[in-house]
Amino acid sequence: MTDANDTHDHPAADADQVAEDAEGGAAADVEDAADPADLSAVRLVELYAAGSLSPVEAVRAVLERVERIPAGVNAFCRVDAEEALRQAAASAERWRRGEPAGLVDGVPVSVKDLLPMRGAPTLRGSRTVRVEGRRWDEDAPSVARLREHGAVFVGKTTTPEFGWKGVTDSPLTGVTGNPHDPRRTAGGSSGGSAAAVALGAGPLSLGTDGGGSIRIPASFCGVFGFKPTYGRVPLYPASPFGTLAHVGPITRDAADAALMMEVISGPDWRDWSQSAPLGPGEAGFRAALAPGTGAVSGLRVAYSPALGGAAPVAPEVAAAVRRAVELLAELGAGVEEIDPGVTDPVEAFHVLWFSGAARLVRPLTPEERELLDPGLREICAEGAGYSALEYLAAMDVRAALGQALGRFHSAYDLLVTPTLPITAFAAGVEVPPGSEHTRWTGWTPFTYPFNLTQQPAATVPCGVDADGLPIGVQLVAARHADALVLRTAHALYAAGVARP
């Protein structure tokens, strides 16, 4: 087992023995020439079902990939190789009997260290979280659903302290770099998860998104990130940032995300604000991707190159996103270049976000507050100064924005924007060097508005810049149109837009 202060050790000998017993001591006849760590979750399950690959082989390959993650990337804060291999061996036995536990039995998964996972401390990137005397015996709802479906948990991924910003560095675990260039940021706050998926350290990862925290790192790292409609995936414990916070998948592609959504959207009584689960007659997320469902032909797509000028967009980003939009048109969508006509809600977002941060740290002693990320201390101080009337005024802005975009989506099925106006910048700082902004929201104006409105939004990799850094295109739909976002993203992957 490893944590943030240790190096990764090789799996223990007894775990190896358990794994060998499960494999019968022989290598499986894998029809794919690729390293199992490079396979999607969908493909892994197909191979398990065919008897062509053992979950033990797949998990071993992923653990070997974890060992090779460059130190500057720093994607994991905790890895338990022995436990992962035990879970893989149990999965292999279930597949041998023809009795898989569920849809992702044997698939390697990582979990952002904001979400509780039974048997491991949840430290949230903070030196203020007390470990002594605590029992770590509860799963978050999304983790519980994955466990029920037989997923194999590789470890916990890095996060900024309490997930407060759009890059991943913390006083506890240090800086998480980009897998394409560790000197650049992976983005955040689910930066460890996005970096892990990009490097083949598990095809599925659980992230959270309160202002872009799934989409930002997925865009910077060149993988798929999906923020579902608020409440579609139950969340517990409740986020300090309230109903801005969503839980969702970071994956290789849209098909893996649809598979993961089938699992993690299962109901959980601990989240009283969750959406109603799909009814008996409603198609699931994977069904939306199946051939014959219409793909994107006839969709009404609104293309907003800069969301009303919220920020200047780098030319290479603008060109890559435009190519993706042109591809949607070639696939049969009706595309119109138009802005939704809304103003940047950053001030209202700050009131809600900073207030949540202030409430989060309120129980801490003065000595504990000194241990916090200095930037987090700053926004907490600002948040503590807001009045209830200012908070309610921010909620009014939020409601008006939601109504405006609801009206907009009565005319357009999808809104397409750049995910971010820039590519990954230097690691270890909150804003790009030389920026006029002091907070991370200054360079993420296309992500946080859709946390205010609770709409589903995804980022699809659509190219790279001259330095080989990934660029993402963002797809946004009306609330509860999650399947439409996944279907469109899947069509883009099938058409080759996601190949850098």
Residue-wise pLDDT for 447-467, tens only, equals 999 999 999 999 999 999 999
Number of helices followed by number of strands (H, E) in the chain: 15, 15
Q: Kindly tell me if the per-residue pLDDT of 266 is higher than 90.
A: no
> Which pLDDT band, with edges at 50, 70 and 90, does 282 fall under?
low
Q: Please give the sequence-ordered ranges of beta strands (E in DSSP) within 120-179, or none if there are none.
A: 152-157, 169-170, 174-175, 177-178
pLDDT tens-digit readout, 165-174: 999 999 999 9
Tell me if 52 sits within 8 A of 29, measured CB to CB.
yes
Task: Report how far residue 469's alpha carbon sits from residue 479's, in angstroms, rounded to the nearest whole number.
Answer: 31
* pTM for this entry: 0.93
Residue 226: which of 408, 475, 424 has the closest Cα?
A: 475
> Which listed residue (142, 170, 189, 265) is catalytic?
189
Q: How many CB atoms lie within 10 A of CB 420?
A: 27
Q: Which residue has the tokens 């060998």?
A: 20
Ramachandran angles phi, psi of 311, nearest 5°: -165, 150
Q: What pLDDT score was predicted for residue 132?
A: 85
How confident is the model over 394-410, as pLDDT tens digits?
Answer: 999 999 999 999 999 99
**pLDDT at residue 17 above 90?**
no
State yes or no: pLDDT of 33 exceeds 90: no
DSSP 467-491: TS-EEEEEEEESTT-HHHHHHHHHH
54, 213, 275, 355: which is the annotated catalytic residue? 213
Residue 422 has pLDDT above 50, yes or no: yes
What pLDDT digit, counting tens, does each position of 134-161 carry? 899 999 999 999 999 999 999 999 999 9
pLDDT score of 153: 98
Annotated catalytic, 213? Answer: yes
Whether residue 112 lies in the annotated active site: yes
Please determine, for residue 163, whether its predicted confidence score (pLDDT) is greater than 60: yes
| Terminal Cα distance for the chain, rounded | 35
∠ at Cα 60 (59, 61), nearest 5°?
90
Per the CB < 8 A criterion, the answer to whether 23 and 88 are in contact is no
pLDDT at position 91: 98
Mean pLDDT, residues 281-296 taken together: 78
pLDDT tier for residue 275 given thresholds of 50, 70 and 90: confident
- Which residue's entry shows tokens 């009795």? 99
> Token digits for 398?
């939020």
CA–CA separation, 194 and 251 (whole Å) = 8
In the set 112, 156, 165, 227, the catalytic residue is 112
pLDDT tens-digit map of 484-500: 999 999 999 999 986 54
Which DSSP helix (H) or strand (E) runs through 224? Answer: strand 224-227
- 473, pLDDT greater than 60: yes
pLDDT at 16 over 50: no
Residue 425 to residue 35: CA distance in whole angstroms: 31
Report the mean per-residue pLDDT for the chain: 92
Identify the weakest region by mean pLDDT among 5-14, 342-351, 365-374: 5-14
> Tokens at residue 174, please?
């240090």
pLDDT tens, position by position, 175-203: 999 999 999 999 999 999 999 999 999 99
All structural domains of the chain, each given as residue ranges with its CATH number in brackets, are 13-288 (3.90.1300.10), 299-495 (3.90.1300.10)
For 6-23, what is the mean pLDDT? Answer: 41
HEC assignment per residue over 434-453: CCCCCCHHHHCCCCCHHHHC
In order, the DSSP letters of 276-331 are PPPPTTS--TTGGGSTTS-TTTT-EEEE-SSTTTTSPPPHHHHHHHHHHHHHHHHT
DSSP 271: -
pLDDT value, residue 189: 98
Beta pairing, strands 246-251 & 224-227: antiparallel
| Residues 36 and 54: beta-carbon distance below 8 Å | no
Cite the DSSP H helix spans in 140-214: 141-148, 191-198
Q: Residue 57 above 90 pLDDT?
A: yes
189 catalytic residue (yes or no): yes
**CA-to-CA separations, 120 to 40, 107, 131, 149, in angstroms, rounded:** 26, 19, 10, 19
